[in-house]
A and B are shown apart, each in its own frame.
Chain A
Amino acid sequence: EVQLVESGGGLVQPGGSLRLSCAASGFTFSNYWMHWVRQAPGKGLVWVSRIHGDGRVTDSADSVKGRYTISRDNAKNTLYLQMKNLRAEDTAVYYCVREGWFVGSAFDIWGQGTRVTVSS
């Protein structure tokens, strides 16, 4: 079964750091672009960052550039999101997402999400 399972969320103080992980299974992880998408409480979906299958190309939304770093370990089939200098507005559920091959680059597999709360 194709699956993405996030972990690492929690409560962190403003200015703090957190690393999210996403364990992938059921597909050849290194063949896919992977993304992080977040959703603030009661709000819509916002794209955060992406990384190529080989890990050499990354991209991020302006709102997180310089604070968030996406990375991957293909040997461990794991995607990461290192977040630093966190702000209250970073509070959200963070989804690990696969960009599909045969679906016009749509996001075809989503994890269940991990909740990040930035508060003092």
Chain B
Amino acid sequence: QSVLTQPPSVSGAPGQRVTISCTGSSSNIGAGSDVHWYLQLPGTAPKLLIFGDSHRPSGVPDRISGSKSGTSASLAITGLQAEDEAAYYCQSYDTSLGGYVFGTGTEVTVL
């Protein structure tokens, strides 16, 4: 049950900037719950990309950034590279459900 909505796919040419939106509600993102982002390459486990709305774990390049406003969050990838082709998921905590929720997932394609 995905209560966080993401676009199914986004695409861009190498070097371009793409953004992925994550739309929630007043019981999750809008309630102030942190938003985290994960990257999943085909056939592999997800990997943490952004935590606490906008913070990068060590090893994640600074061309990856996150932001949050109101009931939505966004992930931006600048200087798009072939290696960025993957599925991306946002995640937060929902106070009404009393559990953790993931976004619907977005496939990034490098043209």
Contacts and interface: CB of A to CB of B under 8 A. Distances in A.
Contacts of A110: 45-47
B45 A103 contact: no
Interface string B51-83: 111010100000000000000000000000000
A110 B93 CA distance: 18
Interface in A60-75: 60-63
Contact of A104 (B46, B52, B103): B52
Contacts of B101: 47
Contacts of A62: 97, 99
Nearest to A113: B45
B1 A106 contact: no
A47 B52 contact: no
A103 B51 contact: yes
B34 A47 contact: no
Interface of B: 1-2, 34, 36, 38, 40, 44-48, 51-53, 55, 57, 89, 91, 93, 97-105
17 contacts: A44-B2, A44-B102, A44-B105, A46-B1, A60-B99, A61-B99, A63-B1, A103-B51, A105-B34, A105-B93, A106-B91, A107-B36, A107-B38, A107-B46, A108-B57, A110-B46, A112-B44
3 nearest A-B pairs in the assembled complex, by CB-CB distance: A104-B52, A106-B51, A47-B100
